[in-house]
Amino acid sequence: MRVVLDTNVLISATLWSGSVAQKLLFKLIHADAQIFSSVEILEEYRRVLQRDFEYAENEVAYILGKIVSFMTLISSKEKVDIVKEDPDDNKIIECALASASMCIATYDKHLLNLKEVRGIKIVKPEELL
């Protein structure tokens, strides 16, 4: 299985022990699924940790080091303009397209409303679990 986790799922999976997102992450890792991310997604994750959760730079670096250990980082080859309501969300779709992922796990309503893009399913972690 090839999957992209949206930033909000990564936050939930790494900060809230026992969350559905964390259970999904552990299941994906144990199933040897390929979890993809991009520099843009991880940069957003870093910003959220610092801005919303007040993590220090060294704490963020440590967490990012852990996350990168189970992900495959890719560069998006194609820029898309699919999410009109929140263009910043396009980076998630770009990562999924570049990695030929089967699905995107997200809690973002703009992405969830799309349901599918070019054969890539967009679902909540609960559905994927």
CATH code where residue 47 lies? 3.40.50.1010
How many separate domains does the chain show?
1
Host domain of residue 70: 2-128
Region 45-49: mean pLDDT is 97
pTM of the model: 0.94
Rounded-to-10 torsion of CA 23, 47, 108, 129: -10
Region 86-109: mean pLDDT is 97
Among the ranges given (56-60, 74-78, 117-121), the one the predictor scored with the smallest mean pLDDT: 74-78
The confidence score (pLDDT) of residue 76 equals: 87
Region 84-100: mean pLDDT is 96
Region 30-44: mean pLDDT is 97
**Burial class (CB within 10 angstroms; exposed 0-12, middle 13-18, buried 19+) of 31:** exposed
Region 91-115: mean pLDDT is 97
Q: What are phi and psi of 121, to 5 degrees?
A: -75, 145
Distance CA 99, CA 78 (A): 11
